[in-house]
Amino acid sequence: MNPSTNKNGCVLTCCGRPAPTSQSSVISTLSDKMPIKCNTGCQKNAVLKRPKTGDALCKECFFWAFEEEVHHTITAAKLFTPGDYVAIAASGGKDSTVLAYIMKLLNDRYNYGLKLVLLSVDEGITGYRDDSLETVKRNEQQYDIPLKVVSYEELYGWTMDRIVQETGRKSNCTFCGVFRRQALDRGATLLEVDKIVTGHNADDIAETVLMNILRGDIARLQRCTALVTGSEGAISRSKPFKYTYEKEIVMYAYFKKLDYFSTECIYSPNAYRGYARAFLKDLEKIRATTIIDIIHSGECFSVREGIKLPTQSTCECCGHISSQPICKACVLLEGLNKGKPKLGIGKTSKVREHMNEIINEKLGDEPKQIPQTTITDAGITATHHNKNKNLDF
């Protein structure tokens, strides 16, 4: 008897077909039919339907498929070399918990030869972050991976709670995101790791592609689908879960009984990303493979010639990578410290004015003597360049 005659079951299909039933059910309810056999032909009964391909699989085959896919992503992109010291960005949520588990598992199974450490960022959001940090500490014990926590308080002197008090609820995701990225980099530098891995999954990347199209951010659109990001000097970051669906991560954690903390950040409801996310969820209901299709489309993009892109250099204040003379984190911090919280959120001309004021204050009596390496240099050369340009025409 051919075990693959899944044609009995109305639900089972070849890959990529949109599921007729709602995708929200993790375990397919096929109570009116005979038990469906696992699609791989291993003779066991299927207990779940894969959100990604629609195939019915038993638990072990699903685990195998999931792990193998991540392994394939890692090897195909040559993410690691043996002997690397790798930091796993851990927030305590589902992605990072499963990531920590999988990295440990694959490291042991396939002998990547990596030394792992968990790196966690404490933004100082009461009721959200302190709970998830408990989860990370539990992970540290369960998976036997050392943990390092860096907090906004010690790095910048501000917690997210205080920032929201200053700026209100509208642009707080900007602050948190910019600060967190730098916090991860700084934590990684402190630990002296070679690489960082983050738990961004396929849904996140598809959302980012959509969001960047909606906001017209060409530069980010080019970069967001790359598996490995980071330039020279900065620690490279990679996303092993790039092709893994969020639903499958949850399914994996559920069946493996991995514990994680799952709540939305209390400040997030007004983010623009919410629109892209809602759209993506609707698309996923219509056709399950849209998520990967969007990533594929994103990988095929490049920018037309003649379009100006912001160049990447380093910040003059702190030395981090930045496309402006002063990086966003320094600008935001400056704004917070000087009581002008909207400094980094509003117009760039205001930023430049503010920075010029600071320089003039610092120089005191002789505002005219501006050394070559100051920030205003960029501003002045820019205006000169503009004037020249007009004359040329």
- Rounded to whole angstroms, the Cα distance separating 327 from 314 reads 8
The token pair at 280 is 């993506």
Distance of CA 170 to the CA centre of its chain: 21
Tell me which residue has tokens 């309810």. Answer: 29
Q: Which stretch binds other proteins (CB under 8 A): 14-22, 116-124, 154-162, 345-353?
A: 14-22
254 binds other proteins (CB under 8 A): no
Nearer to other proteins, 203 or 316 (CB): 203
With beta carbons less than 8 A apart as the criterion, state whether 96 and 132 touch. Answer: no
Site string for other proteins, 194-213 (x = CB under 8 A): ---------------xx-xx
Backbone phi and psi for residue 311, each to the nearest 5 degrees, phi listed first: -90, 155
**For other proteins, which is the closer residue by CB, 308 or 387?**
308
134 membership: H or E segment, kind and range: helix 129-143
Q: CB neighbours of 5 closer than 8 A, spacing ≥ 6?
A: none
Q: Is 377 in the site for other proteins (CB under 8 A)?
A: no
For other proteins, the closer of residues 65 and 266 by Cβ is: 65
Is beta strand 195-197 parallel, antiparallel or unpaired with respect to 115-122? unpaired
Which residues within the stretch 279-338 sit at the binding site for other proteins (CB under 8 A)? Answer: 279, 282-283, 286-287, 289-290, 292-304, 307
Q: Does 34 bind other proteins (CB under 8 A)?
A: no
- Contact set for other proteins, span 44-103 (CB under 8 A): 50, 52-53, 55, 57, 60-61, 64-65, 68-69, 72-73, 75-79
19 binds other proteins (CB under 8 A): no
Is residue 3 close enough to count as binding other proteins by CB under 8 A? yes
Spell 176-190 as b/e; 16+ CB within 10 A means b.
bebbbbbbbbbbbee
Three-state DSSP state, 57 = strand
- Sites of contact with other proteins (CB under 8 A): 2-4, 13-18, 39-42, 50, 52-53, 55, 57, 60-61, 64-65, 68-69, 72-73, 75-79, 209-210, 212-216, 218, 221, 225-228, 242-243, 275, 279, 282-283, 286-287, 289-290, 292-304, 307
